[in-house]
Copies of this chain bind each other. A is one copy, B any other.
Amino acid sequence: MATIKDIASAAGVSLATVSRVINNGPKVGDATRARVKTIMQEMGYRPNANARALVTKRSASLGVVIPELLEPFFAALGQGIETVTRQQKVQILLSAGSIEQETERRAIETLLEHRVEAMVVHSKALSDAELIDFACQIPGFVLINRYIPEIANRCVWLDNEAGGFIMAEHMIKQGHSKLAVVSSNYQITDPQMRIDGIRRAANAHGIDIPDSHIEFSTPDQEGGELAMQKLLSRDVEFTGILAYNDAMASGAMTMLQDNNIAVPQDVSVIGFDDVLLAKYCRPKLTTLHYPVEMMAGLATRLALDFAMGKSCKEETHKYTPTLITRQSVAAPR
């Protein structure tokens, strides 16, 4: 691959001149500039981003750490990031990889070795302390879907407790008082936060949700089916199901329908996330919209700004999910 040196000698000028042409530098004669440009074309020259990063100490790149790509939720997250980076001509370095301490840590470190300018990180396994440590080391370090008070302005997150509250409130407003929950058994704080919110709303209306009315399983459709099945077999009484996410909600609906329980006529179901699936499944899912894509976009701009030394005005980047009313929730009969 041709280097700047090759171009220089081919054009009969010095390295410096070629460099100026490449970077649209100011002090180059029009004739020279044109000649150098054509020669670059002919030789198929491409600047070496690594060499450039080495000397300028800027890489125009953003590191991304997410657990995986397959889940629509994370796909949306990625899309939100990509939209911004493309527009700003920033290259994405992606590291996916499960929710495990060691994997997440390695991902961040690898990105660091590549000297990414900024970083958007979705971490559930690393400790607050470690994350704070990274944040101090890396100016452009932003967390998504996590809130750590000490670095509040670096966190873009969703108020899960409020989300839980809104779900329950909606169900209750529709007339439901016998509520059950289908939640996630992942060891992260989100499920518990949502349950807290649900209970706060319930209690405010004098409704109790005993532990026996809450089932945990994997946060996917299968998990939804399983949890629902357990609830059914335990003969728990309910007319409203609050699911951890849309996939579980969909699974729960399937299981209900398989048992000849009509949704929403006999039992109402509400989801969380508002991913594509919510519109596809039957009945269409009433759910909470999680503005991941927008949040990811903000996180990206934030990370890039911080990296540039701009400090942001806002101290907090909290989002609240909004209710999307479709067909899976109705008044109990």
- Chain A interface (Cβ < 8 Å from any Cβ of B): 44, 46-51, 53-54, 59, 64, 68-72, 74-76, 78-79, 82, 86, 91-97, 109-110, 112-115, 137, 221, 250, 276-277, 279-282
- B86 near A79 with CB under 8 A, answer no
- B282 near A281 with CB under 8 A, answer yes
CB-CB nearest in chain B for A221:
B280
List of B residues within 8 angstroms of A221 by Cβ: 279-280
- A46 near B109 with CB under 8 A, answer yes
Chain B nearest CB from A159 CB (Å) reads: 24
- The 17 listed contacts between A and B (C-beta, < 8 Å) are A48-B54, A50-B51, A54-B54, A68-B82, A70-B75, A70-B79, A79-B96, A82-B94, A82-B96, A86-B96, A92-B93, A92-B95, A93-B94, A94-B94, A276-B277, A277-B277, A280-B281
- B95 near A46 with CB under 8 A, answer no
What's the Cα separation between A95 and B51 when bound, in Å?
21
What's the Cα separation between A68 and B276 when bound, in Å?
15
List of B residues within 8 angstroms of A276 by Cβ: 72, 277
What's the Cα separation between A96 and B71 when bound, in Å?
17
CB-CB nearest in chain B for A66:
B82
A44-B137, A49-B50 given. 6 additional CB < 8 A pairs? Answer: A46-B112, A51-B54, A69-B69, A72-B72, A277-B277, A281-B281
